Amino acid sequence: MGERVRVGFVGLGNIGRPMALRLAAAEDIDLQVYDVAPDPVAELVAAGAKAVGSVAELDVDVVCVMVRDDDQVRSVAADVAPDTVLVVHSTVAPETPAALAADGRRVLDAPVSGGPMGAAQGSLAIMVGGSEDAFAAARPALEVMGSKVVHAGPVGSGTRMKLARNLIHFVAFTAVTEAQRLAEAADLDLAALGEVVRHTDAITGGPGAIMYRTTTAPIAEDDFWHGVFSHVAALGEKDLGFAIALADELGVDVPLAREALPRLGKGLGL
């Protein structure tokens, strides 16, 4: 058995609580927790964690923070011992992690993707920015909570990666609402459409299926990906054209589809 890592967790909300429960169940983690709400604290104590009365009372090597916003993160950071690795799981403004580290504090920005279900299963993707030594110190805890832990670069890189990831997420959500309006106007079952989308995305990987290149530069014609993405663009432009024509016929506004049609090929690097 390896050396036990002393970890504190602050913020036991919808995602923080199951993350902390994963840590409480880990053999090589000694967990201390703090939250202003008593019920999740009691649940963590029952799971084997130790409760403390304030952030300043945490006596640990690593403090994981999953609170609501930048102001709460800064408030917690102010009470964390300066030699402790501060791991910020909250999604904050791009400039906040570097500001927290400006006084020499060992900061990792480590936002997560996967939601409460991924937190409960220990299958989160955790995107980490910060120094190699801070990452090494926190890694045992991170790997308990996530099955995909990516060291994205220096402090701030984890947050930037999370924002890029969530740009996909929420633009796609907006596209879904557009597709739902089109489907509803066409007298289709929206729940059945949703089942089809979830089924096929699980097979193809959804939007992530095109994210294999390491650059967004134009693709040379003799590059393997030129043929692949030319096929994708041809199919996409055809189907977007048909969808826009259907929307025009049914009187449905589809601005994202109209924006996507002329941008798809260029965006793919063609």
Active site residues: 162
**Tokens 């989308």 -> residue:** 197
In angstroms, the CA 66 to CA 203 distance is 32
**Three-state DSSP class for 218?**
coil
8 A C-beta contact, residue 88 and residue 142: no
In angstroms, the CA 114 to CA 111 distance is 10
Determine how many CB atoms are found less than 10 A away from the CB of residue 131. Answer: 16
Determine how many CB atoms are found less than 10 A away from the CB of residue 40. Answer: 20
> Which value, in Å, is the radius of gyration of the alpha carbons in the chain?
22
- Side chain identity at residue 122, one-letter code: G
8 A C-beta contact, residue 134 and residue 85: yes
In angstroms, the CA 229 to CA 209 distance is 11
Three-state DSSP string of 23-88: HHCCCCEEEEEECCCHHHHHHHHHCCCEECCCHHHCCCCEEEECCCCHHHHHHHHHCCCCCCEEEE
- Which is nearest to 124 in space by CA: 194, 66, 197, 200? 66
